Structure 1
Amino acid sequence: MTQKLDNLQAALESVLGGRIKTFKRDRGEITITVAAADWFDVAKQLRDDARLRFEQLVDLCGMDMSAYRDEPNDGPRYCVVSHLLSVSLNWRLRVKVFAPDDDLPMVPAVTPIWTSANWFEREAFDLYGILFEGHQDLRRILTDYGFIGHPMRKDFPVTGHVEMRYDAESKRVIYQPVTIEPREITPRVIREDNYGGLH
């Protein structure tokens, strides 16, 4: 496994060079970070270069890093994480791309390179509001077309903004303001005096 990772690391450094912003090797996996401006060209090289041959994009997801691991984040808020697979060379790679603008998060679409990215990019747009420049059909995929906001953002309320129900009188589905009242539930803890052997 170590030799295989050494080979992949050497190939990545040789092909991509200074376009790798960060390189992390941990638990038998390699993660690289590239700039959003370089992402499309890097993705093409990852697929086409004979030393790498990442023919498949296995997964792509968005992330809101605003409070990652319950710690404040001082870098860009939105990240796109892609998992690539080389079937011919039998190795995997994780690539992170941070959107440079938190107010309008945007990274290049890689659907022209890996068609499997299509629905993944739509999902990241729908849930996080990350725009994929060059995507042919960027529209919501999981939420309703009239949905307001992006539900996986950390500042999105858990109850949402509106609720939907069927109205028997008008014989249609209607939207209305959320009727759930927020409340804080603190469990009551009862312990014996000598609980756990402590006196």
Structure 2
Amino acid sequence: MNTSRQEALAKVLGTILAEQLVSLHCLFNELTIVVHAKDVDSVSKVLRDHKELGFDILIDLCGMDYSTYGDEVSALGKPGGRRFGVVYHLLSIPLNQRLRMKVFAEDNEFPVIDSVTDIWPGANWFEREAFDLYGIVFQGHTDLRRILTDYGFVGNPFRKDFPISGYVEMRYDEEQKRVIYQPVSIEPREITPLVVREQNYGDSYAE
């Protein structure tokens, strides 16, 4: 989107959404708005239905764990102390314009954000993925369950504090004749790379 169209869209968003906007800025040549979690439903409906916006397609939705980003993210509109967020990428086919929307959950211990599946049905599996990988609960989703990990999986693997080795491992037990879960048996270790060189490597260049 060229600069003049970005400026025009930014002006429209500022006028229509007004106090519902936490911030509005241009990032990676694309407009980004930040809104409060309580306003997700109402703002999303405006973004889809207003004739000057017309964002009829949700291209992507993903969860984020901002726990280690600090002040850099705060400068881009992240409310202080908020850890989990959801990023929405929207497209208006009739007006040929794009928009990124960010929303931050109010509670770091139990992050909850309203579902937008009734506004953009394509959000269904995206929200399930964010729930599975980040533990973000989408209120109003009619089938919120894991989609990538196993039903017995413990924790949320994309959280910054999730151990690389995980918490449990799965294997088939010959005695019980079934799949069982048990504590991870991998021992933490530090791997030092082995550098192999030929005995006289480089001697010819010295001559």
Give the TM-score normalised by the residue count of structure 2.
0.85
Q: 2:17 matched to which residue of 1?
A: 16
Matching residue within 94, 119, 138 for 1:88: 94
Moved more, 58-67 or 26-35: 26-35
Moved more, 46-55 or 142-151: 142-151
Tell me, in whole angstroms, the C-alpha distance in 2 between the residues paired with 1:8 and 1:131.
Answer: 31
Question: What is the RMSD of the two structures over their aligned residues, measured on CA atoms?
Answer: 2.1
Deviation string 1:8-58 (CA, Å, 9 cap, x unpaired) is: 111111211121101111332111100000111000000000010000001
Distance 1:70 1:153, change over 3 A: farther
Question: Are residue 55 (structure 1) and residue 35 (structure 2) matched?
Answer: no
Tell me, in whole angstroms, the C-alpha distance in 2 between the residues paired with 1:29 and 1:136.
Answer: 32
Give the TM-score normalised by the residue count of structure 1.
0.89
Tell me, in whole angstroms, the C-alpha distance in 2 between the residues paired with 1:71 and 1:146.
Answer: 36
Tell me, in whole angstroms, the C-alpha distance in 2 between the residues paired with 1:176 and 1:45.
Answer: 49
**5+ long unaligned stretches in structure 2:** 75-79, 197-207
Letter in 2 for 1:14: T
Asked if 2 retains the 8 angstrom alpha-carbon contact of 1:66 and 1:72, the reply is no
Q: 1:143 matched to which residue of 2?
A: 149
- In the TM superposition, what is the alpha-carbon distance from 1:176 to its structure 2 partner? 1.7
Question: Are residue 152 (structure 1) and residue 153 (structure 2) matched?
Answer: no
Structure 1 stretches of 4+ with a deviation exceeding 4 A read 69-74, 186-190
The SS at the match of 1:165 is strand
Tell me, in whole angstroms, the C-alpha distance in 2 between the residues paired with 1:110 and 1:50.
Answer: 19
The SS at the match of 2:131 is helix
Letter in 2 for 1:35: H
Larger radius of gyration between Structure 1 and Structure 2: 2
Q: 2:109 matched to which residue of 1?
A: 103
**5+ long unaligned stretches in structure 1:** 191-199
